[in-house]
Amino acid sequence: MIMLYSFTRIDHVQLAAPKASEDEARNFFSSILGMKEIPKPVNLSKRGGVWFQCGTHQLHIGIQEDFIPAKKAHPAFHVENLEALRERLINKGVEVKEGEPLEGAKRFYVNDPFGNRLEFLQWNK
């Protein structure tokens, strides 16, 4: 079968959060993790939420009325100097959870302030 299109990258990942949690999201994703907040388009701002830049991708935190955290499904963020991030998170009081070993990589998990699972990993060179 001939495809007339191709996938080039993931543009963004969206996580859900409870109503009125934008400041908590800013604190965690910007102040603790160090992601830069980026402006939402004006026409989408009325929905609430907050967006962040993550390398060449974006992380969108969307407000969901009947919010339930994602405990299994999760984004995985590639990090250079994973151990420095681990140390920063621990120093900020964020619980770091070890996962099953992944051949060729170091990784760990945390929950965002809303209970969503996040993975951080660094592939061995």
Provide the domain limits for residue 71.
12-123
Q: Does 2 map to a domain?
A: no
Which pair of structure tokens corresponds to residue 113?
């302030």
Mean predicted lDDT score pLDDT of the chain: 96
Structurally, the chain folds into a number of domains equal to 1
Provide the CATH number for the domain around residue 67. Answer: 3.10.180.10
Measure the CA–CA gap between 59 and 23, rounded to whole angstroms.
15
Q: Please report which helix (H) or strand (E) contains residue 111, including its range.
A: strand 105-111
Q: Does 65 map to a domain?
A: yes
Q: Does 76 map to a domain?
A: yes
Q: Fill in the amino acid letter for 3.
A: M
> pLDDT tens digit string along 56-81?
999 999 999 999 999 999 999 999 99
Q: Does 3 map to a domain?
A: no
pLDDT greater at residue 16 or residue 1 = 16
Confidence of residue 125 (pLDDT cuts 50, 70, 90): confident
Residue (of 85, 27, 17) closest to 47 by Cα position: 17
Q: Does 36 map to a domain?
A: yes
Q: Does 25 map to a domain?
A: yes
Q: Does 4 map to a domain?
A: no
Question: pTM of the predicted model, to two decimals?
Answer: 0.93
Q: Does 105 map to a domain?
A: yes
